Chain A
Amino acid sequence: MSSNLIDDLFIFMLACFIGFEVIRHVSPLLHTPLMSLTNALDAIAVVGAIVLVGERKSEFATVLGVIAIVAATSNVVGGFFITDRMLKMFKSSRPAKNTGGNK
C-alpha cells in the first residue's frame, strides 16, 4: 500500500516536470485554448466518478458520483469542442493568401 503511494509520488513529480517543460513552449498566442484544453484533460477525473457510481456501494456515494459525472463530462465535451472552435480560427496570413480568392 505505502509503496503504491511512493510510486505515485514519483509519477507526480515526473509529470510536473514534463508539464512545466511542455507548457513553457506553448506560444502565448494560444494561452486561451491551452487553458480550455488542459481543463478538458483534467476532467479525466470522470473515471473516478464512473467507478464510484458503478460500484453502488452506498446511495450517498452514487448520488454524489452521478453529479460528479455530469460536471466532469460537461467539461470533457464542452472543453474539447470550444478548444477546437478556437484553434480553427487561428489562420496565418501566408496560406490564407494562397487559398483565398476573396480579394
Chain B
Amino acid sequence: MNPELAGSQYVIEIIYLIASALFILSLKWMSSPATARHGIWAGEIGMVLAIAGTLLHYGIVDYKWIAVGLVLGSGIGIPLGMVQMTAVPQRTALSHAFGALCVTLVGTAEFYLRTPNVPKFMMSVLSMEVILGGLTFTGSLMAAGKLQEILPQRPITYKGQNLVNFLLLAVAIASAVYLVLHPEAKQLFPLIVGISVIFGVMLIIPIGGADMPTVISLLNGYAGLSAAAMGFVLNNKLLIIAGALDGSSGLILSVIMSKAMNRSFTNVLFGAFGQVQAAVAGGQEAKPVHSATAEESAAILSAANKVVIVPGYGMAVAQAQHKVRELYDILTKKGVEVRFAIHPVAGRMPGHMNVLLAEADIPYDRLIEMEEINGDFPQTDVALVIGANDVTNPAARNDATSPIYGMPILDVDKAHTVMVIKRSMSPGFAGIDNPLYYLPNTLMLFGDAKQFVGAIVRELSGGH
C-alpha cells in the first residue's frame, strides 16, 4: 500500500480505539439500572463511529452492496427489536444465530480468498472461527425453535448420543488440524463447516426447556469467541475486544446459571434430564393435597403482613404478569409488604423474570435475588408461587435421590402459608414430583395463572 492510503488506516485505527473504550464503558454502565441507559448510548456511538470509520477503508471500491446490506439488515432489525417481552429468549437465541452466521460467512469467504497461502496460526484461528460460528449458528436456531415451540421442547435422547456428538466434533477438529498442517488440502474446509453446522443441531437436540438459560448463555459465549477469532484473522483489534467482552459475558452467565442448577457445563450439554425422568415418573401415587378457592386465598392474602411472590416460567406462559401487578398494587395499598423472589434460572434466559415484571411496571427494588430473600421466608406470612416448580422443590435440599438434589432453591416451604397456582397436579416440565405440594401448610390453587390471579384481585377489590 502507498503511504497516502496508509494515512486513512491510522484514522480508522484511532476510531476503533475510541469505539473500544466506548464498548467497555457501555458494559460498565450496565452494572446498575440507574446508569444502564447511558451504556446503550455509549454502545451506539461506538458502533456508529466504527461503521463510519470502516467505510473509509482504502480497499473499499464499491459501496452499493454495502448500502444494500445495511438497509436490509436495519429493515430486519427493527421488527426484531420490537418483539414482545415474553418472546425475548427466542429473539436472543435468534440474534446469536445471526451473529454466528455473519462470522461463519466472513470466515468462509476469507478462507477462499487466501487459500492456499494461509499461515498456520491464521488457519488455526480461522478454523476456530468457523467451527464455533457454525455450531453456534445452528445450535442457536435450534434453541430459538424450541423456545418458540416450533420444535418439541422435551429433550430428545437416543443411545450413544454423546458418542456421536464427540465423534462429530473430533472429526471437525482433526480435519482442521490437518488443514493447518497441509494448507493445500482445501477440500477439507467445507467438511469442517458442514460438520460444525450439524454438530450445532445435535448439541441442542437433547436439551430441555429448563436448561435453556445455561444453553443460551453458553451460545452467547461461543458467538463472542468466534467473533474474537475473526478479529485475529482480520487483524482487527476492535473485533477482538468486542468478541472477548461478549465471550466473557456469555461464559460468566453460563457459570452463574449452571451453579444455580447445581450442574456442570458438561452435565448440561451431555447429561440430558431425559433418562432420570423415566425413573421418577414410575413411583407416583395419589397423596392428599389441600386446595383453596380464590375467595379463600384473597382472605389469607389480605390478612398477611408479608407476602413473597415467586414467579416462574408458567407466569410468562399464562401472560399473567399484568394481573400479578394488579395484585401487587392492591395488596400494597392495603399495607401488605409484597416482594418478589427471583431464582437465577427462573424462566428461559438469565434475568427473564426481571424483564417481565419490569414490563408490568413492578419497581425493580421489589425484585429480590435468591440469596438475599431466602433468609426471610420463615418470617413470611404467604409465599405465592406462580408458575414456578423446580426452583421451589424442597427435594433439592433433603432428598438425595432427587435428580435436582443439591440445586439451590427458594425456601418457600418455610413460609407460614404457601400458595401454589398450578393447572393440575401433573408433574411439571422437568417431570420431577414436587413434595412442596403435599405439605400441611401448602394450599394448591388449581387454575390458569392469569385467571386465578385475576379472581383473587376481584375478591380483594370487591370486599372493600
Contact = CB atoms under 8 A, between A and B. Distances in A.
Interface residues of A, number: 84
Contact of B247 (A19, A37, A45, A83): A19
A37 B26 contact: yes
B379 interface: no
Nearest to B241: A15
A86 B85 contact: yes
Contact of B227 (A30, A45, A55, A91): A45
Interface residues of B, number: 112
Nearest to A86: B355
Contacts of B249: 19, 23, 34-35, 38
Contacts of B19: 44
B109 A61 contact: yes
Given A31-B253, A52-B110, A90-B33, A39 B69 contact: no
B295 interface: no
A38 B363 contact: no
Interface in A43-70: 43-58, 60-62, 64-70
Contacts of A75: 77, 95, 98-99, 102
B36 interface: yes
B400 interface: no
B434 interface: no
Interface of chain A: mostly helix, strand, loop or mixed:
helix
B183 to A, nearest CB: 15
A27 B61 CA distance: 45
Nearest to A15: B244
Interface stretch (B37-45, B157-165, B277-285): B37-45
Interface stretch (B268-276, B364-372, B410-418, B447-455): B364-372
Given A38-B224, A69-B73, A72-B73, 18 more contacts: A5-B235, A19-B248, A20-B248, A23-B253, A24-B252, A32-B349, A37-B30, A41-B47, A42-B243, A43-B47, A44-B50, A46-B73, A47-B239, A52-B106, A54-B61, A61-B109, A86-B358, A91-B364
Closest 6 CB pairs of A and B: A73-B73, A81-B81, A77-B77, A69-B69, A54-B60, A31-B351
Interface of B: 19, 23-24, 26-28, 30-33, 36-37, 39-40, 43-44, 46-47, 50-51, 54-55, 57, 59-63, 65-66, 68-70, 72-74, 76-83, 85, 88, 91-92, 95-96, 98-99, 101-103, 105-106, 108-110, 112-113, 119, 121-122, 216-217, 220, 223-224, 227-228, 230-232, 234-250, 252-253, 256, 342, 344, 349-352, 354-355, 358-359, 361, 363-367, 369
